[in-house]
């Protein structure tokens, strides 16, 4: 399986990388990688940064596939 889309964004002192892997039937799976590893609890600001970055990445992934894609997000 090949990564069809990769986006990274900061969350506090961390970098989150979202990777879209294509599946059959135009479905895709986005996995999140945290570096350093995801903390057990996010602050209010980190939650806001994560949600904003995640929304932008998913929107970019969807747009890059011209809206012909179903997504499953795993953390």
Q: Rounded to two decimals, what is the model's pTM?
A: 0.77
B/e letters for 17-41, b = 16+ CB within 10 Å, e = fewer, are: ebbbebeeeeebebebeeeeebeee
DSSP-assigned letters across all residues of 23-56: -GGGEEEEEEEEESPPPSS--HHHHHHHHHHHHH
- Domain with 69, as residue range(s), is 3-74
Structure tokens at 48: 């806001």
pLDDT tens string, the chain, 75 residues long: the values are 567 789 999 999 999 999 887 766 566 677 899 999 999 999 999 999 999 999 999 888 777 766 666 655 555
- Count how many domains the chain has: 1
């Amino acid at each position: 399986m090949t990564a069809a889309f990769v986006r990274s964004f900061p969350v506090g002192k961390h970098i989150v990388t979202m990777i879209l892997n294509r599946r059959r039937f135009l479905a895709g799976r986005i996995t999140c990688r945290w570096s350093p590893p995801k903390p057990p609890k996010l602050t209010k600001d980190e939650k806001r940064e994560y949600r904003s970055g995640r929304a932008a990445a998913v929107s970019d992934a969807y747009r890059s596939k011209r809206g012909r894609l179903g997504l499953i997000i795993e953390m």
